[in-house]
Amino acid sequence: MTSIDFLTFLEEGFCARDIVEQKINESTSSDDKDAFYVADLGDVLKKHLRWARTLPRVTPFYAVKCNDSRPVVETLATLGAGFDCASKTEIQLVQSLGVEPSRIIYANPCKQVSQIKYASAHGVQMMTFDSEVELMKVARSHDNAKLVLRIATDDSKAVCRLSVKFGATLKSSRLLLERAKELGLDIIGVSFHVGSGCTDPQTYAQAIADARYVFDMGAELGYSMTLLDIGGGFPGSDDSKLKFEEITAVINPALDKYFPADCGVRIIAEPGRFYVASAYTLAVNIIAKKVNMKEQSGSDDPPGSLAPLHSHQLTSHVFSRV
């Protein structure tokens, strides 16, 4: 990658692909045919408007790990989004853009002690946890943490499963709530992540119901929790198996059922791919190509034999979403 163009296309009918084609035409006559990509910040803006229209009760906290380029983060900061940071570096980036600490959740359930201290020194209070060890680390490294208990979900139908490594079971949630009480820690809410590339919207409904169960369990132990974080997993482009609106059609009624508007619970989410997947278009230069004869019918070649094309340098570009 040699060049990055950040452009906002708000004009009707003008899109990132036009810029890509223009650049390809410019490079055909030169020797510089390196791969490049174009970022369309207007696409990020459109996603934000779509989010606000479709999930009006849910404040997005963009998951910085999905794309930490400054223009993307800056655009979302200007639009008023919050941020899900997974590390000190991400907190530094977001704060360098003037985002106040209340708009940041340190949503990594396994944190380095030095980085918990960094968050504490810089006013970042909201952070997730899913184990007793993490509670003990936070108790000795942060004066004012507002903890969010991350629960596991059934992510068996997601492309990228996250509950394999993160999230407490409902059974261990009770123990963690009790342990936090003993340590004098404040638990303000519950979070989950259904896994990236979620293909079954019912996973969200089940996780929201489970979160309600943990809220009630917390109430029995004297916590009055005020934050529900429904995580990420939302598709970033319209060619995904499950459409964003098909998911929100399940989420909205589940929220209204388990966390009605007047229940005093603030709802946030941590969309990552949703905001950035379709904003980037990659153009690559195909420098060689091999054809697998096995897949061509009527071939006399033995199965699996490869036939290299004789033109070793093809100059055509292909488009791909990154």
The window from 24-32, 255-263, 264-272, 310-318 that contacts ligand PLP (CB under 6 A) reads 264-272
- What does the angle CA 114 – CA 150 – CA 180 come to, to the nearest 5 degrees? 70
Stretch binding ligand PLP (CB under 6 A), from 23-31, 176-184, 230-238, 246-254: 230-238
- Taking the complex as a whole, the smallest distance from the CB of residue 55 to ligand PLP amounts, in Å, to 13
Q: Does 66 interact with ligand PLP (rule: CB under 6 A)?
A: yes
Residue 142 annotated as catalytic? no
Does 290 participate in catalysis according to the annotation?
no
Q: Which residue is nearest to ligand PLP (CB)?
A: 232
Q: In whole angstroms, how close is the CB of 17 to ligand PLP at the nearest point?
A: 24
Tell me the closest approach of the beta carbon of residue 66 to ligand PLP, in angstroms.
Answer: 5
Binding part of the chain for ligand PLP, among 46-54, 177-185, 205-213, 266-274 by CB under 6 A, reads 266-274
Q: Residue 36 interacts with ligand PLP (CB under 6 A)?
A: no
Distance of CA 234 to CAs 32, 45, 100, 198, Å? 37, 16, 25, 7
Burial 217-239 (b: 16+ CB within 10 A, else e): bbeeeebebebbbbbbbbbbeee
Q: Are 41 and 6 in contact (CB under 8 A)?
A: yes
Q: Per-residue contact track with ligand PLP, 182 to 201, x per CB under 6 A?
A: -----------x--x-----
195: β partners: none
**Residue 177 near residue 196 (C-beta atoms within 8 A):** no
* Choice from 20, 38, 58, 63 touching ligand PLP (CB under 6 A): 63
Task: State the nearest-atom distance from the C-beta of 152 to ligand PLP, in Å.
Answer: 13
Return the structure tokens found at 111.
Answer: 């944190």
Is residue 271 involved in binding ligand PLP (CB under 6 A)?
Answer: yes
Specify the residue, 110 or 293, whose C-beta has the smaller distance to ligand PLP: 110
| Tokens coding 272 | 């990552």
CB 187 within 8 A of CB 218: yes
Catalytic: 270?
Answer: yes
**How does DSSP assign 232-300, residue by residue?**
----SSTTSSS-HHHHHHHHHHHHHHHS-GGG--EEEE--SHHHHTTTEEEEEE----EEEGGGSTT--
C-alpha to C-alpha distance for 233 and 64, rounded to whole angstroms: 14
Instruction: Decide if residue 270 touches ligand PLP (CB under 6 A).
Output: yes
**Which residue ranges make up the site for ligand PLP (CB under 6 A)?**
63, 65-66, 84, 107, 193, 196, 231-234, 270-274
Give the residue numbers annotated as catalytic, written as ranges: 65, 193, 270
